Structure 1
Amino acid sequence: MKVIIVGSTHAGTAAAREILTRHPETAVTIYERNDNVSFVSSGIYLYLTGVIQHLEDMFYASPADLTAMGAAVKTQHNVLRIDTAHKSVQVANMQTGAVFVDTYDKLIMATGSSVIVPPIMGIDHEKVLLCKNYQQAEQLYQSLRPNQQVAIVGAGYMGTELAESYASMGYRVKLFHSHSQILNNYLGPEMAGAAAQLLRDHQVDVHLDERVTGFTSGSDDQLVVETAQGDYPVDLAIVCAGFMPNTELLRGQVAMDRHGAILINKYVQTSNPDIYAAGDACVVNYNPTGQPAYTPLATNALRQGALAGINVFGDLQPYMGTQATSAMQLFDHTMATTGLTYPAAKKRELPVRHVVYQGDWRPAYMPSTAKVTIDLVYDYQSRQILGAQFWSQHDIAQAANTVSVMIQNQNTIDDLAYVDMFFQPNFNQPFNYLNLVGQLAVKQEYQRGNQTPHITAPGNWPTPPEQG
């Protein structure tokens, strides 16, 4: 069988490895328009601060690695056109200019995403940079100068991490976000407020509900960031306005959502049975809602890519879907999230409630401890867990993975309240903080008169109100 993979992103690399490990006789050709493969963009902020010394370390595979496995790796080759009717691709060799046609039995679309370039006047200014790929990361690194003022436009994951990076290096940072809270796709307003205050405590100037409208040249070789609320002279601006799927090659040939992301079935197969899609080019099957969603994360790309490599040989391994679990280290705090936030669930008009737990992660009699805040979101009709967000100076990131599995398995707040978790004072309370937030949710439902038959209220719980 002949398989063409378009793009050597996380997804494309994972697909190639899976195919050539399981079926080394397969003819696999990878077309990549860059001169590198599998760049981990989430490590850019670590490179800027020197935590990672060499940007090349952020490639988790090389063309030589894939060639050694048996793939024909064609870097600096740009796919110009895909003809699904004739199962062919038109390709340009970017070094020689030669254009040729190749054919496939199965095609895997792993073209990834691009940074959204918002329609802002002056965004092409030489002092305005983007942040996604290897070349852009090098540009950012080469732009570092002492005592600079840096503006960051967009306070999602990338923008917030960059704000921390520049602030930790002593730069004067202005962070602009057009929403009323930072990290609005990941946190509820209370935790987002805590994260924003942490940034301010480290001298980041956070501008919320302030949309950047233009960039112009100012005096003393500075760049002026323009908003409706004022003009701000800086030395450099970085735009982090989100990502859009690279799917133009298949536009009109396979089904897509309103973002232009490719729709897939449970075997990561598109509406064309000979074409599979993985990573930022396609949707995910989002378990908290049961609906497709566009969620560009490396974890999704790796899993979908591997599944594409398996399922080109048949419907062998179904895609379990995702909870879009992620985490961030912000100065001395850990933020983690999985599933829906409470505002996102309310916006979808789901029957939801939430509880917020705050307490020490281990007993107070230990030499040290720290507060943990957990916001647990659940469906009050089915009692199923829909999401959770975590915030602490203690590293509680793995707790998000535990809740992710419980959402995946459709567990309830009752399950979470009493699921078996060990106790040892070095590591946690007699009841783990995940048990405790589950018990808090059960208590809330009991007090509302929504007691399930298998839950017995402890004696110190108040009598539930009569239901009328």
Structure 2
Amino acid sequence: MKVIVIGCTHAGTAFITTAKKLYGDNVKITTYERNDTVSFLSCGIALHIGGVVKDPMKLFYSSPKTLSDLGAEMKMRHEVFGVNFDEKYVIAKNLETGETFKDHFDKLVITSGSWPIVPDVPGKDLQGILLSKNFYHAKDIANNSKNAQKIVVIGAGYIGVELAEAFKHRGKEVVLIDIADRILSRYLDKEFTELLENEMTENGVKLALGETVVRFEGENGCVKKVVTNKSVYEADMVVLATGFRPNTDIFRDKLKTLPGGALIVDEYLHTSNQDAYAAGDSAAVWYNPTDSYEYIPLATNAVRMGTIIAYNLFEDRIRYPGTQGTSGVKVFSYNVATSGINELLAQQKGIDYDVIYAIENNRPEFMPDYEPVYVKLVYRKDDGTIVGGQVMSRADVTESANTLSVAIQNKYKIKDLAFADFFFQPYFNKPWNFLNTVALKALEKMDKSNK
């Protein structure tokens, strides 16, 4: 069987590694990748900028040589710009020589990833306005930030918040701009973001929330100012962290997609063409909390999907279980993690929901030290099914989001979590785990509302 893989970051690397282990030479894999690197962990860019990871090369967990040694043909610096599904071939271009050619396939694996969204405003092409996605972006940010003192980050999602902190650790003047009136609004509710915004402000990050960038201004071709609908900010450097869009333009009108272009896949990760699979940032995912297809570009989704495609290459063996969008972030002294939906998304989806919010200590009060844990559950009002959860503390309790993820995936109800069996040891937790406690409070709330 001849398989062509388009793109090779997380999903592509996972597919190739697994397929070669499962099938060896029975599957011939040719990979087309426009860059000369694979498997870069973009979530590590802020760690590199902040000095936690000194060597950015350590943010790679594979290489073209590693995948070649497994038996894959790695066509680096090649771009696929056309696909013929009827005759089953791709049209590719060697970006070094300009040569174009056709290559036939039996199966196609689309792991073409995503690309940063660039606001379409005047001045967007000025020098010093940078993206944050791949290895080369990381190098550009690191090099440009050496001589930049005033840095503006646009977008207060995970990447923007992490970069703002990283620049602050480097002694920079940092402004963080977002069109929303809260940071991390897609992931966390107000109880959490208020604390995090105070934390960022106290650590010297200027927050410009509820503001829209209307233009960039420069001198001698270099950015000097960011103009919003409310203010003007001086900038030696700007980093855009305004989200991502799937790299799927060549499949437009050929495969079924969400309105934003993410390829829709079935439970075995076939696209609307049964001989073409999709995974990672190029694909939509089945989102269990809302039972709908959503675009959630996370490395965790990518590696699972790429691996499952390998198992399903000859026959449909493993169903993709969907995702809860579980994720986490460190914001100065706070450790934060979330799984499933928050109140904002519940409202957007028209879910009849209720919430419970509690503050618990992570360890018994008789211990020498302990920290508050802020925890919130979102659940369906009719039957108590858990659809979301958020946890935050100066102690590291983020692994509890994985517990919430399993609970949401398996449609646990409030009563199931309230009496779930968790271990107790005073160094780590309390006799009632804080997940038990918050669920018990939700159970009491439900009982009162039913009387």
TM-score, normalised via structure 1 length: 0.94
Gaps of 5+ in 2: none
Alpha-carbon separation, structure 2, partners of 1:248 and 1:193? 39
**How far 1:146 sits from its partner (Å)?**
5.7
More moved, 221-230 vs 161-170:
221-230
Shift of 1:310: 1.3
Q: Does 1:41 align with 2:47?
A: no
Kept after mapping to 2: 8 A contact 1:351/1:380: yes
Indicate the residue corresponding to 2:28 in structure 1: 27
Task: Say which is worse superposed, 268-277 or 141-150, in terms of deviation.
Answer: 141-150
Q: Is residue 276–residue 312 contact of structure 1 (8 Å, CA) maintained in 2?
A: no
Distance verdict in 2 for CA 1:111–1:292, change over 3 Å: same
Q: 1:226 to 1:85 in 2, by over 3 A?
A: same
1:336 counterpart residue number? 337
**Does 2:13 match 1:13?**
yes
SS in 2 for 1:423: coil
Question: Partner amino acid for 1:5?
Answer: V
Q: Which amino acid aligns with 2:15?
A: A
Contact 2:148–2:237 under 8 Å retained in 1:
no
CA distance in 2, matches of 1:137, 1:62: 17
1:412 maps to which residue? 413
1: CA distance, partners of 2:364 / 2:438? 16
Cα distance in 2 between the residues matched to 1:330 and 1:427: 22
Residue identity matched to 1:83: N
Q: Secondary structure at the match of 2:301?
A: helix
Which residue number corresponds to residue 455 of structure 1?
Answer: none
Q: Residue in 2 aligned with 1:117? A: 118
Displacement of 1:346 in angstroms is: 2.0
Are 1:96 and 2:97 counterparts? yes
TM superposition shift of 1:144: 2.0
Count matched residues.
450
- TM-superposed CA distance for 1:220, in Å, is 13
2:405 is paired with a residue whose SS is helix
The superposition leaves residues 387-408 of structure 1 with CA deviations (integer Å, 9 ceiling, x where unpaired) of 0011110111100000100111
Which residue of structure 2 lines up, in the alignment, with residue 423 of structure 1? 424
CA deviations on 1:265-316 (whole Å, 9 max, x unpaired) are: 0001101000000000010100001101000000000101111111121101
Q: Residue in 2 aligned with 1:54?
A: 55
- Which secondary structure state, in structure 2, belongs to the residue aligned with residue 24 of structure 1? helix
Does the CA-based 8 Å contact 1:147-1:172 persist in structure 2?
no
Pick which of 364-373 and 346-355 moved more: 346-355
Give the equivalent residue in structure 1 for 2:273: 272
CA positional deviation for 1:343: 2.1
Deviations 1:69-95 (A, max 9, x none): 110011011112111111000111111
Work out whether residues 386 and 411 of structure 2, in 8 Å CA contact, stay in contact via their aligned partners in 1: yes
Q: Distance in 2 between matches of 1:116 and 1:187?
A: 22
Q: Matches of residues 313-352 of structure 1 in structure 2 within 5 Å?
A: 313-352=314-353
Partner of 2:295: 294
Contact map agreement 1:218 1:224 (CA 8 A) in 2: no
Aligned to 2:2: 2
| Contact 1:414 1:438 (8 Å CA) reproduced | yes
In structure 1, C-alpha distance between the alignment counterparts of 2:231 and 2:255, rounded to whole Å:
45
Tell me if the contact between 2:145 and 2:237 (Cα under 8 Å) persists in the aligned partners.
no
The within-5 A match list for 1:186-197 is 186-197=187-198
State the SS of the aligned residue for 1:165: helix
Q: Compare CA radii of gyration and give the structure with the larger one.
A: 1
Does the aligned pair in 1 maintain the 2:126–2:222 contact within 8 Å?
A: no
Q: Which amino acid aligns with 2:429?
A: N
SS of 1:101's equivalent in the other structure is strand
Q: In structure 2, the residue corresponding to 1:336 is in which secondary structure?
A: strand
Q: Is the 8 A contact 1:92 1:98 kept in 2?
A: yes
Q: Is the 8 A contact 1:334 1:391 kept in 2?
A: yes
**Alpha-carbon distance in structure 2 between the residues aligned to 1:304 and 1:273:** 16
Supply the distance in 2 between the matched residues of 1:178 and 1:444 (Cα, whole angstroms).
35
Q: CA offset at residue 261 of structure 1?
A: 0.4
2:127 pairs with 1:126: yes
Displacement after TM superposition at 1:145 (Å): 2.7
Aligned counterparts of 2:416 and 2:210: Cα–Cα separation in 1? 40
What amino acid maps onto 1:414 in structure 2? K
Counterpart code for 2:235: V
Residue 184 (structure 1) aligned with residue 211 (structure 2): no
How many Å separate the matches in 2 of 1:391 and 1:69?
42
Report the counterpart of residue 461 of structure 1 in structure 2: none
Question: TM-score, normalized by length of structure 2?
Answer: 0.98
Distance 1:221 1:79, change over 3 A: closer
Residue equivalent to 2:87: 86
SS in 1 for 2:399: helix
Q: Is structure 2 residue 416 aligned with structure 1 residue 439?
A: no
